[in-house]
Amino acid sequence: MLVYMELSMRAGTAPICPYGQAGCHVPTLADLFDRVIQQSSRMHGISSDLHSQFEQYFLPSKNLIGKRKCHTYGILTPDDKENAQRLGREQLTEVILRLLGAWGDPLSQFYQSMSRDQNQDFNHYSSNKAMEISDMVHELRDGVAKMAEKMKLSGVLDNTVSYVSPESFVPFSTVSYYKRGELNPMDHHDLLHCFRRDSNKVKNYLRILKCTTLPGLDC
Amino acid sequence: MKKPSEAVLLLLLLFFAPHAKGTRFSPPGKPALTRCRSPEKETFTCWWEPGPDGGLTTTYALYYRKENSEAVYECPDYHTAGENSCFFNKNDTSIWVNYNITVVATNTLGSTFSDPVDIDVVYIVKPNPPEKLTVTVMEDKGWPFLRVSWEPPHKADTRSGWITLIYELRVKLEGEDDWEMHLAGQQKTFNIFSLRSGGTYHVQVRCKPDHGFWSEWSSTSYIKVPDYFHREKSAWILIMVFTAFIFLILTWLLHMNSHSLKHCILPPVPGPKIRGFDEKLLKNGKSEDIFSALVVSGFPPTMSSNCEDLLVEYLEVYVPDEHELMLEEGKDLHDHCLKSEGSTSDNDSGRGSCDSHTLLMDKCGEAKEQGRQTEQEERPVETQRHQKEWNEDTLPYAHEDTVSPDMSSGRVKTWPSVFCPLPQYSSSPPNHTSSLEIAKQHCLSDSLFPPGSTSSYLTHPGHSTKETLGPSRWEFSLSNKQPRSLHPQMQTRQQLQARSDINLSNVGCEQAPVGLLPPTARPTEYVEVQRVNEEDMVLLKPVASGRGCGDGCPRLRQAEDYSKVKGVNSDHTLLLQREVMGEEAERCPCQDQETNGETDSCITSSTVTTTQKPPACNYTAAAVQDKMAPTVSGYVDTASIFTLPTY
């Protein structure tokens, strides 16, 4: 009911469509931002759940903490507020897209590996979650891309931002890190640790992007 | 680095330790990092718990290592955050980076390292409580509510989107212990409704980042809600007065109509009334009086009573054999009969008269029901009868109606539902003598006829219930009497007997003999025993036996007998004729049976006094041929023909 009211206040009762077909309501940039931020928040939540589950069943060896390296470490990401704000919208958007692009493949592998591994009890729940985040990461990437397009159209973003295809970014093939098709529990844990962090980055960057682009009530 | 110098110092201390006094000194105990917190995701602080110092002055140092780097750094600030703490400022803080932190306790004797701790600043955020909490009372259509508003902690940068906080507030009335929690999400204002007028409320608020820890509760804000009691009260007073008024009116109305209401709601329960039952006698305690009072003179009905009315007898004449004979004779048999022939080869058990193809179908319809009814009712009576001496003559037999009570002819009757009590054998009027009703058969009811109960009746077992029935029945009835062939005189029993032989089972149709209405086409037994009066009036003769004639032949004396044997026809069927003693001779159902043309034989026996309708003429032996007539078929369901005599 509230959603309906909200929609009707905005633009009548037409359904929302991303491409602006006839008869449907084109979402605004604010709508896109909200959606994208919600999606990223949810994705991060699921990855956190999965990670804590793994921690229960598989205590990480603290000795390896220093040696753990995520396959996305090649992507330079701002690691504090000043750096993030200094980066600017375009670069921030690009970083977001890169991160999302870099995780599409590994998560699919992760999901496949999880569904293959029948030994552990928690796998059923976990594999569902894995499938979810695997899908989400793809959707989010598409969503952010669309949002970037819209920002470009509205002049908020310069045209320097290009849609980064995941193929262009191959710092380390996931094979070396995650042994395509043969991930063992140790790899699972590492992967989840890395993804949890990266999804948090994405969420945070998106929020910063939104608040710099559309300062409003939520910021 | 300090570390080497410290190490040297330690060694020196250790060296000199033995020279120290005898006091027990030891290296420091193991410290432990208790927690690390970041208030705004830009700086963080770690606290540790020192272990036992071992008696010597112990110093603590914190070292950390960043992820993917081998460099070890020492805590930059030990003081800002207080004792046993380490504060990392913005420059030293990196988000999304793992810190490996260790604390070392050192004294002269040695140093002890704590367990390392890994932290990522983004997951240890615990903001400061929200600030500038304000609560105001506002009004919404006359009803007040609280509007609470606050600000995020000033350190947390929510404006740039760096940190996102969600809020929660709690409210309670002054003096109470339970807080009412409200989750406010990301908004910075909140409304609280449903206030108690005149109460003072305490309000607090706290916040939390998406993934982090809740802050402490903010300082309490107090607010007093003004009184709006009077407005409430006046409304309540009005309502109360109104309600009281209505209540009074209702009470008055109830009082006025209490009596009629009582009758309406709790109608008086009629007490049991037993004729002749006098409660006072009961109180007296003299049982004799009571029981004698209960005895109604007119009960059980004697011959002169209206018993006959009660009985509706109908003879069901089964003339299975005849039927066959008929068949042989000619094909004029009703197809029903034909069918019945074949089908009724069995004992016709369980089949009512209506089943008999020879019978009128339509009649059967109703007769059946009645028959059943009668059956049922008959049952009890019959059982009764059984008890009675069979020999008793004069069984007025309830169905006196049809047959004059003294009709002994074993008239077969099918009893309608109502029964006069079985003629008391004992008390039966003499004239009845053999008025035993031998068998009332009712064709239909037979099916229901309990085997045992028919002792007194000779129900044609045939179609009554089971085969077993039949024979037993017969026997039973006859048991008392010496079995004998049907001798007209006197022994009705004999007649009965004859019947027994018949073995109703097969007799069925044949029974048609006098008095018995052989159900046409009912091959089964259907034997009807009529009352046999002294004169052996009734003769039922089994179809097969054909002897019926012998016994059956005897004319039925009238007297009251129910049926008079008109004669025996060629088929060995006894044609019973009912003589009406002047009474109505009710139309004889005979006609049914009488297809043979014995219409007249149908004379209904007048049953003398019977007021009841003449028993079904059915007795007419017509049964024989009658089968043909589906209607007649010798089976007359008295019920259908006569109305039940009302008692």
The CATH number of residue B85's host domain is: 2.60.40.10
Q: State residue B22's pLDDT score.
A: 53
Q: Worst-scoring range by mean pLDDT, B99-108, B286-295, B531-540?
A: B531-540
The residue out of B120, B152, B168 marking a domain boundary is B120
- A135 or B481, which is more confident: A135
- B440 or A209, which is more confident: A209
Residue B134 pLDDT greater than 70, yes or no:
yes
Residue B174 lies in a domain: yes
Q: State residue A56's pLDDT score.
A: 77
Q: What angle do CA A121, A126, A127 make, to 5 degrees?
A: 105
Query: From the candidates B64, B96, B101, B120, which should be mutated to test the interface with A, based on the most A CB atoms within 10 A?
Result: B96
Look up the domain containing B80 and give its range.
32-120
- Which residues in B have their CB inside 8 Å of a CB on A? 41-42, 65, 67-68, 70, 90, 93-98, 100, 116, 118, 120, 122, 157-162, 164, 186, 210-211
Q: State residue B592's pLDDT score.
A: 40
Rounded average pLDDT over B230-243 = 82
Write the pLDDT tens digit of every residue in B274-329. 766 666 666 766 667 667 766 666 666 555 545 555 566 666 666 666 555 555 44
Q: Do both B203 and B176 map to the same domain?
A: yes
Q: Nearest-CA distance from A2 to chain B in Å?
A: 16
How far CA B443 is from CA of A56, B315, B415, B463, B511, in Å, comes to 88, 7, 9, 6, 11
CA separation for the pair A56, A176 (Å, rounded) = 26
Chain B neighbors of A219, CB-CB under 8 A = 158-161
Q: For residue B189, give the chain A residue with the closest CA.
A: A217
Q: How far apart are the first and last CA of chain B?
A: 130
Residue B58 lies in a domain: yes
Paired with B45 in beta bridges are B37, B87
The residue out of B58, B88, B120 marking a domain boundary is B120
The residue out of B120, B155, B174 marking a domain boundary is B120
Write the pLDDT tens digit of every residue in B392-444. 444 444 444 444 444 444 444 444 444 444 444 444 444 444 444 443 444 43
Q: State residue A69's pLDDT score.
A: 72
Of all residues in chain B, the percent with pLDDT exceeding 90 is 25
Q: Do both B249 and B213 map to the same domain?
A: no
Chain A neighbors of B90, CB-CB under 8 A = 80, 82
Residue B500 lies in a domain: no
Residue B415 lies in a domain: no
Q: State residue B264's pLDDT score.
A: 82
Q: Do A66 and B100 touch (CB under 8 A)?
A: yes
Q: Do both B99 and B152 map to the same domain?
A: no
Write the pLDDT tens digit of every residue in A149-180. 888 888 877 776 665 555 445 444 444 455 54
Residue B534 lies in a domain: no
Q: Do A69 and B68 touch (CB under 8 A)?
A: yes
Write the pLDDT tens digit of every residue in A48-91. 998 888 887 766 554 454 456 788 888 889 988 999 989 888 89
Q: For residue A213, give the chain B residue with the closest CA.
A: B160
Q: Do A81 and B94 touch (CB under 8 A)?
A: no
Q: For residue B164, give the chain A residue with the closest CA.
A: A219
Say how many CA atoms lie within 13 Å of B85 toward its Cβ.
15
Residue A2 pLDDT greater than 50, yes or no:
yes
CA separation for the pair B228, B143 (Å, rounded) = 8
Q: Do both B107 and B158 map to the same domain?
A: no
Chain B neighbors of A70, CB-CB under 8 A = none
Rounded average pLDDT over B140-157 = 90
- The overall average pLDDT reported for chain A is 77
> Which residue, among B522, B518, B536, has the nearest Cα to B572 in the 3D structure?
B518
- Roughly what angle, to the nearest 10 degrees, separates helices A89-116 and A123-153? 160
Write the pLDDT tens digit of every residue in B436-495. 444 344 443 444 444 444 444 433 443 434 444 434 343 333 344 444 444 444 444 444
Give the predicted TM-score (pTM) of the model.
Answer: 0.51
Q: State residue B155's pLDDT score.
A: 93
Chain B neighbors of A204, CB-CB under 8 A = 161-162
Local confidence band at A122 (pLDDT 50, 70, 90 cut-offs): low
Rounded average pLDDT over B101-117 = 90
Residue B88 lies in a domain: yes
Q: For residue B94, give the chain A residue with the closest CA.
A: A79
Query: From the candidates A34, A49, A79, which should be mutated to test the interface with B, based on the most B CB atoms within 10 A?
Result: A79
Say how many domains are in chain B: 3
Q: Which tokens in the block code for residue A19? A: 């491409």
Q: Do both B79 and B162 map to the same domain?
A: no
What interface predicted TM-score (ipTM) does this complex get?
0.83
Residue B393 lies in a domain: no
Residue B361 lies in a domain: no
How far CA A187 is from CA of A52, A133, B359, B568, in Å, comes to 15, 17, 95, 114
Rounded average pLDDT over A113-126 = 69
Q: Which tokens in the block code for residue B486? A: 């049907």
- Which residues in A have their CB inside 8 Å of a CB on B? 41, 44, 48, 62, 65-66, 68-69, 73, 77, 79-82, 84-85, 197, 200-201, 203-204, 207-212, 215, 218-219
- The overall average pLDDT reported for chain B is 64
Q: State residue B309's pLDDT score.
A: 58
Query: From the candidates A200, A206, A213, which should be mutated to test the interface with B, based on the most B CB atoms within 10 A?
Result: A200
Q: Do both B148 and B198 map to the same domain?
A: yes
Residue A197 pLDDT greater than 90, yes or no:
yes
Q: Do both B94 and B65 map to the same domain?
A: yes
Q: How many helices (H) and strands (E) does chain B have?
A: 17, 19
What is the H or E stretch that residue A50 is in?
Answer: helix A29-57
Q: Do both B182 and B199 map to the same domain?
A: yes
